[in-house]
C-alpha cells in the first residue's frame, strides 16, 4: 500500500509487528467515510487515529483473515490494489467484483491450530 501512495503507520518498524496495518487516509477523506467506502467494496476496516505528525484520519486493517485463508506475500499486491482503488473512489462495482473473486479463490481456512 505504501508503494501505491498510501502512507502506513510504522514504516520504520517494518510497518507492523502484528497482523494489523494502519493506513493514513487524510488524502482520500475522513476515516469513517473511507471505512464505509471500503465496506461497499466488501473490505472491512475500522477507524483509527494515527500519530498526529502523520495525519488525522486513519484506518485499522486486520490481515489475519487473509493469511488464515492461505494468502501469502505474493498475493499482497492484489489485496493492496483493491484497497487503494476503493479509497480512490474507483468504480465500486468493479472493485467489489475483484474483492469477491479474490475471496472465492481463498475460501477455505488454511492456518489454524489443530483442535
Tens digit of pLDDT for each residue in 28-85? Answer: 999 999 999 999 999 999 999 999 999 999 999 988 888 888 898 899 999 999 999 9
In CATH terms, is domain 2-105 a member of 3.90.79.10? no
Tens digit of pLDDT for each residue in 12-41? Answer: 776 666 788 899 999 999 999 999 999 999
Q: Are 109 and 68 contacting, i.e. CB atoms less than 8 angstroms apart?
A: yes
**Which is more confidently placed, 1 or 112?**
1
Q: What is the pTM of this model?
A: 0.88
Amino acid at each position: 500500500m505504501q508503494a501505491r501512495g498510501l502512507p502506513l503507520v510504522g514504516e520504520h518498524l517494518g510497518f507492523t509487528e502484528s497482523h494489523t496495518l494502519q493506513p493514513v487516509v487524510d488524502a482520500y477523506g475522513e476515516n469513517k467515510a473511507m471505512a464505509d467506502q471500503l465496506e461497499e467494496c466488501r473490505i472491512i476496516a475500522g477507524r483509527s487515529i494515527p500519530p498526529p505528525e502523520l495525519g488525522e484520519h486513519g484506518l485499522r486493517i486486520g490481515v489475519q483473515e487473509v493469511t488464515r485463508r492461505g494468502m501469502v506475500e505474493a498475493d499482497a499486491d492484489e489485496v493492496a490494489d483493491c484497497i487503494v482503488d476503493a479509497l480512490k473512489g474507483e468504480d465500486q462495482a468493479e472493485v467489489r467484483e475483484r474483492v469477491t473473486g479474490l475471496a472465492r479463490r481463498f475460501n477455505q481456512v488454511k492456518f489454524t491450530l489443530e483442535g
